[in-house]
Amino acid sequence: MDVTFFAGNRAKLKELEPTALIVVAGNDEVQRRADAAFAFVQEANFYYLTGVNEPGWKLVLTPDEEFLIGPERSDAQTLFDGSLAHEEVTRTSGVTTVVSLKEGEARLKELASVHKKVLTILEHPYQSHFGFAPNPGPYANIRKLKKMFEELGDVRTTVTRMRAIKQPEELAMIRRAIHASIAGFSRVRAELVGYDNERKIEATLWYEFLQMADGHAYDPIVASGANACTLHYTANAAKLEDGSLVLIDAGAQVGEYAADITRTYAYGASTDRQKAVHAAVETAHQKIIALLRPGLEIKTYSDQVDEILKGALKSVGLYEKPSDYRRYFPHAISHGLGIDVHDSLGGFKEFQPGMVLTVEPGIYIPEEGIGVRIEDDILITEDSHENLSAALPTLL
């Protein structure tokens, strides 16, 4: 991504918050075990505003200046991990002032004597539902700002609203991620009969996604038989049983941007029942995609989706009472797609040109060992939509 992209995002944010002091922290490294850290992943909003893909950095925007605060690194850390030279950070981000942690703290203290209020990315609205600890970078930043400033405000809504409308260079990344994903899925489908375990599918996807992209954007789901009814199944280690369906939900990542695709394939001969359930999902999928256009209210879309999916369940004898709907289709139909694989749609009431979202209907019948989902990535265009992953057949 070019430096003008990140500089442009900061300029836009300043335009939307012209009088604010804004401090946004990137992620820190997190311990994996003993002296090993998990692979580093940058906080999405911080990446969007800076392009800096290293742990421990902070961005400060004031009405008349901007600067980046670097992390404290020992000589040993620099030797083992490599460390970003300040000039390199400037080249990536376009932020010309890059200061040490010590100088940054002093500057923030000065700013606290002028500004009562500071804006930052506050805790994720669903943090308490996640069941895992927040990343220590933004978390420590919030605590520190709380002590320094009288008032803390959230800039998350403003930034996610910007992020919801994709710019041409972001769409280019997403298209590349989808292209690589399609290559991975196509190879899996062509070779599937020769595989004996879910692991082989994951391994092929890894191979293709590393050849053509930067690896997986998220932990892939390779779920055969009844495993497909466990929505977040990521063990991907079961033996493939002849006559079962295999649900594969995976997406490559390119330049921090994700693809998110699901296909359900038959392993060996499929039964009439499996074919009927797959066809019901496929038909619903096409009908739902056809709804998408700019200006459509998201609430209206959601109501129309409910009707289409209830019809799909009825067609395979699975809908008798209202509670059957959530029983056999227990997840959301769509989410935004971008730097985060579950990107925000920015709080817009209606679909907007430039949004990218998934469409992912499914039917899950644990008692029959059948789980089918089909997921494509859709761009809302000026007057309609484009299915960015349409080149990958939805065949069983």
- 246 versus 333: smaller Cβ distance to Mn ion: 333
Q: Does residue number 282 form part of the binding site for Mn ion (CB under 5 A)?
A: no
Q: Does residue number 376 form part of the binding site for Mn ion (CB under 5 A)?
A: no
- 89 versus 213: smaller Cβ distance to Mn ion: 213
- 80 versus 130: smaller Cβ distance to Mn ion: 130
- 202 versus 340: smaller Cβ distance to Mn ion: 340
Q: Give the nearest distance from C-beta 183 to Mn ion in angstroms.
A: 19
**In sequence order, what are the residues at sequence separation of 6 or more whose Cβ sits closer than 8 angstroms to the Cβ of residue 387?**
289, 376, 377, 378
Q: How far is residue 191's CA from residue 195's CA, in Å, rounded to a whole number?
A: 7
- 358 versus 389: smaller Cβ distance to Mn ion: 358
187-205: b (≥16 Cβ within 10 Å) or e? ebbeebeebeebbbbbebb
Q: Give the nearest distance from C-beta 362 to Mn ion in angstroms.
A: 10
Cα-based angle 321, 324, 327 (whole degrees, multiple of 5): 160
Q: Between residue 246 and residue 275, which ones bind Mn ion under the rule CB under 5 A? A: 260
| DSSP annotation string for 317-381 | T--SSTHHHHHH--S-S--B-SSSSSB--TT-SB--TT-EEEE--EEEEGGGTEEEE-BEEEEE-
**Residue whose C-alpha is closest to residue 174's, from 365, 12, 20, 386:** 386
Q: Give the nearest distance from C-beta 358 to Mn ion in angstroms.
A: 4
- 57 versus 364: smaller Cβ distance to Mn ion: 364
- 170 versus 260: smaller Cβ distance to Mn ion: 260
Is the Cβ–Cβ distance between 255 and 173 less than 8 Å? yes
Q: Give the nearest distance from C-beta 147 to Mn ion in angstroms.
A: 39
Binding range to Mn ion, per CB under 5 A, among 31-39, 173-181, 307-315, 355-363: 355-363
Q: Does residue number 358 form part of the binding site for Mn ion (CB under 5 A)?
A: yes
Q: Give the nearest distance from C-beta 101 to Mn ion in angstroms.
A: 38
Q: For Mn ion, how many residues bind (rule: CB under 5 A)?
A: 2
Q: Between residue 17 and residue 56, which ones bind Mn ion under the rule CB under 5 A? A: none
Give the phi and the psi of residue 97 in degrees, each rounded to 5: -100, 115
Q: Give the nearest distance from C-beta 345 to Mn ion in angstroms.
A: 13
In angstroms, the Cα distances linking 89 to 33, 58, 337 are 29, 12, 27
Residue written as tokens 């509670």? 323
Q: Give the nearest distance from C-beta 161 to Mn ion in angstroms.
A: 21
Which residues lie near Mn ion (CB under 5 A)?
260, 358
